A and B are shown apart, each in its own frame.
Chain A
Amino acid sequence: MPTVTHHSRTKSTKKKSSSAPVSVPGFVHVCTLGGVDEYLFKKNGLRVLLKRETFAPVATVMVTYLVGSVNERTEQTGLAHMLEHMMFKESANFRRKDKRDINELLDKKGARLNASTWTDRTNYYETVALPFLEDAIALEADRMRHAIFDAKELASEMTVVRNEYEIVRNSPERILSTDMHAAAFQAHPYHHPTIGWLSDITSYTVQKLVDFYDMYYRPDNAVVSVVGDIDLATTLRLIKTYFGVHAKPKRPIPVVLSEEPAQEGERRVSIVRPGTYDILSFMWKKPSALHPDIPALIVLASILGGGHASALFRALVDTGLASDVSVSAYPFRYESGFEIMVTLAPGVAHTTVETIVMQTIDAIKTGEITETDIVRAQHMLKTAYASEAGSTASFSDMLCEAIAGGDWSLAFTIPKRVATVTREDVLTVVRTYISDTTKTVGHYHGQS
């Protein structure tokens, strides 16, 4: 389901501080939450998140664009990811001929820089020693609107991406996950993998890239975050200097219109490849990140597979039927998968484990769940959320994924709501979302 209707509710949880932390002309202070200040650059719609963290003299600059593989169409799958690679080539003020190579400029200053693409977002980031903060901001601002695309470089980078695709195809988990999504999602673009299908990867053109870039790489479709040992006012001024030159385009940002129709029966995926082990996977549909049921689904996932005291770990790993189990209710911008993945022990049949997983879930549905189970899951999640604040880079990642989910405040509101989930909430979501008719089951057979 589209998430727009929930947006205002989540926004209201943020606090408007009585006085803006810093005042820089052109910026409006929007709100403060979790030590993060949000500003809006009114001229072009760019949103900025700032947080001070002073342990080491470093900062992480991250630009999150609200574009990912969900915005791609047939014959253009993987385009968002390809564009991410091409953004490391040249831009107007970062040319090799001027000895300002994007790849090398910050790398040669010891920065930890990279980028990534996922379903709902693309991000670019640099963790830099403070003297290079301005370089990082200048680079990100320049390539937001002034990237240069060259057919020869695209041809060379295509083979790099093709190799990345082949590396992904070496992983049984990734192969199964790709086919599970393709089976579970038929209309919605979560159907296709972020890296794209091979035939599409090998057929991109510069024009396709430019069109996609012009459509989505714009200040009003991006959030700049800076976390670290920074002076807030100085940082805002730098952002104004470099990102402030971009105009807000008049054309609207395209929205994703396709919705996944209701699933009306179990779907099955079977893969047989040369290999050394077997995997069993389940997927049900869960609502978007902004939906109020997400915290209870996250608690349910932890009860089932979070830690050694979880239900499936005890039923499968402690009994020697499996070597690993993972359960994910990771929130995405649109309706997505509630997923279970089990690595089977040698000689154990998929059907045996499948029966046990369903029995475990059925037991929860019938009420075999205690307050202690809920509290354990909540405490495990509390420490997991605390660990995300362990570096300026991981804190920035946390903000980025929340932005991708629909609102950066989710980074703080979801943990807060997880802490108030009740046994009744968990019973409600397991009975609502985990049903036989909305289930997709995958069997991966590694055969020697």
Chain B
Amino acid sequence: MTHPFSLSTHIRETVTDGMTILSVKTNDSLVTVVGSFPAGRMYDTAHHGAVALLTARMLGESTQTRTKKELHDTLEGMGASVSFDSDIARGRFFASGLATDMHTILALVGEMVREPRFDPDELAVMKTRVSAEILAESDDPKGIARMLLARTLFPLGHPHHIALPAVLSETIEHVTVDDVRTFHRAMYGRGDMILVAGGAVRHDEFVEECRYAFEGMPIQPVLIENDSIVSLYEARRFVHEHMPKKETASVYIGHALSLSPTDPVFDALSVGIHVLGGGIFASRLNQEIREKRGLTYHIRSSIVGYQGKLHGYWLSLAMFPERVYAEGVARMLYETDIIATRGITTKELTEKKDELLGRFLTQFDNRSGLPSFVLSAYEQGVPITHIDAYPERMSTMTVARVNDALAKHLCPEQSVIASAGDISLLARNGVQKEYARIKKESKKA
């Protein structure tokens, strides 16, 4: 299959005044602008990320010269929307509107980032809202199991560690306007600001609009992110949170990784994980656990958590009710053990190459998502040329490289199994027994 698509040919880049400004030109009338700053929760470990989150959210409220009402009346009067949020590594804004209004929208975004009011009453309401969101997330077994996994894999103070919902809610209660102002002053500047526009944009005009919008903001030194590698456990570790009446439990299995996304081994490991649980239907986990045995509706495996320059982690996810919980988890573990020890086959690699090269193209169908895609790559320090070279790198991938990467970097014996839902101790204790049964059956076969 030929690959007549190069992302680089659609992108223009300008670096000026500490800002990296990129545009992806399409013919869409809707323009999307995404921007980010080194203002994620990893720079706010003392407050479990609460100050980082509230600072980002408060940028969507009043500015020094406009009330929140005036701001949103103006923005939404044009049909535009602007929102702010933060994750582990970065604080981000997401703005969209018609191409004809982009100058006004960017000017307002600039004002919101440069001159926030941080009104105490608005902060009080925002704290209530964020606490309510945390409570709502606490009702979802999938979210709880994911938090449990991250908390168990990464120690307190590590960027990937997620505080208990109750701890985070209590921390939020004590955040003050001064905390937010101090964090904003330190983290929101032009030193490491990345801006990406997509749609019917003219690059030179966009650069000028960015210069105007963020003029006067300090240019901070680029921070060296804390990407400390964590050690794996010596043996498998099970953790569970009981959630009454959540009849289907979410189960994560995973461990930390010590590879960067531009490491040559990273591609090889990605292919191996894709064989295990990537794609939609064709993975080993899906075929063995969903298609053959009907044990779950949803199962997958992937590499996640590569935000900013942080190393990420491998995880598998599935959902099982009590009646098949032990067998489902045991089969996930068994399939993972098999691929880690025996690797993949030549046939699987050939098929995966086709699949991944096809997926490389179909990912560019989402034109409105391109700005976020490009932003994410730049935040991780992945050059667009590296993305464009993906088909070439895949064409030279070998079974030996994939299996070597799996043997060295996929360590199911040292993984954490985190689940949440209404599952009895009996079912949870049955996992080891089921695993032994499956192994014995497999030997016979």
- Chain A residues with a Cβ under 8 A of chain B: 55-58, 60, 88, 103-104, 107-114, 127-129, 131-132, 155-161, 163-164, 166-167, 169-172, 228, 273-277, 307-309, 314, 317-320, 322-324, 343-346, 372, 375-376, 378-384, 386-387, 389-394, 446
Contacts and interface: CB of A to CB of B under 8 A. Distances in A.
A135 to B, nearest CB: 11
B81 A128 contact: no
Given A58-B361, A108-B351, 12 more contacts: A56-B364, A56-B365, A104-B281, A127-B362, A131-B1, A157-B294, A164-B298, A274-B245, A308-B60, A324-B133, A346-B131, A376-B79
B80 interface: yes
Contacts of A394: 366, 368
B392 to A, nearest CB: 16
28 contacts: A55-B364, A55-B367, A60-B365, A104-B282, A107-B280, A110-B361, A112-B359, A112-B365, A163-B297, A163-B298, A163-B321, A166-B247, A166-B248, A166-B321, A228-B365, A276-B136, A276-B139, A307-B72, A346-B132, A346-B135, A375-B77, A376-B73, A376-B79, A381-B79, A383-B30, A383-B81, A387-B368, A391-B368
3 pairs of A and B residues whose beta carbons are closest in the complex: A110-B358, A390-B368, A379-B79
A362 B8 CA distance: 54
A318 B125 contact: yes
B355 A169 contact: no
A273 B245 contact: yes
B5 interface: yes
A390 B360 contact: no
Interface stretch (B21-29, B302-310, B411-419): B21-29
Contacts of B356: 110
Given A55-B367, A319-B125, A391-B366, A383 B297 contact: no
The CB with the most chain A CB atoms within 10 A, among B30, B298, B357, is that of B30
Contacts of A156: 291-294
Contact of B279 (A107, A172, A317, A345): A107
Contact of B294 (A88, A160, A324, A376): A160
B362 A309 contact: no
Nearest to A310: B76
Contacts of A107: 279-282, 355
A170 B280 contact: no
Contacts of A378: 79
Contacts of B292: 156
B290 A160 contact: yes
Contact of B362 (A110, A372, A383): A110
Nearest to A389: B28
Interface residues of B, number: 77
Contact of A274 (B132, B244, B351, B357): B244
A155 B319 CA distance: 19
Nearest to B348: A108
A446 B139 CA distance: 9
B297 A167 contact: yes
Given A103-B291, A323-B129, A375-B77, A276 B362 contact: no
Contact of A109 (B138, B141, B354): B354
B247 A58 contact: no
A313 to B, nearest CB: 9
A345 B132 contact: yes
Given A107-B280, A129-B358, A159-B294, A318 B26 contact: no
Contacts of B140: 170-171
A247 B294 CA distance: 35
B76 A345 contact: no
A383 B80 contact: yes
A156 B80 CA distance: 47
B113 to A, nearest CB: 17
The CB with the most chain A CB atoms within 10 A, among B60, B79, B80, B282, is that of B79
A350 B254 CA distance: 40
Contacts of B366: 390-391, 393-394
B96 A383 contact: yes
B395 interface: no
Given A320-B125, A343-B132, A58 B98 contact: no
A172 B136 CA distance: 9
Contacts of B246: 170
A384 B96 CA distance: 10
A128 B30 CA distance: 24
A56 B9 CA distance: 12
B221 interface: no
Contact of B247 (A127, A159, A160, A170): A170
A143 to B, nearest CB: 14
B129 A103 contact: no
A308 B76 contact: yes
Nearest to B25: A55
B104 to A, nearest CB: 13
B78 interface: yes
Contact of A379 (B30, B78, B367): B78
Contact of B139 (A155, A158, A277): A277
Nearest to B319: A167
Nearest to B79: A379
Contacts of B272: none
B383 interface: no
B357 A110 contact: yes
A228 B297 CA distance: 31
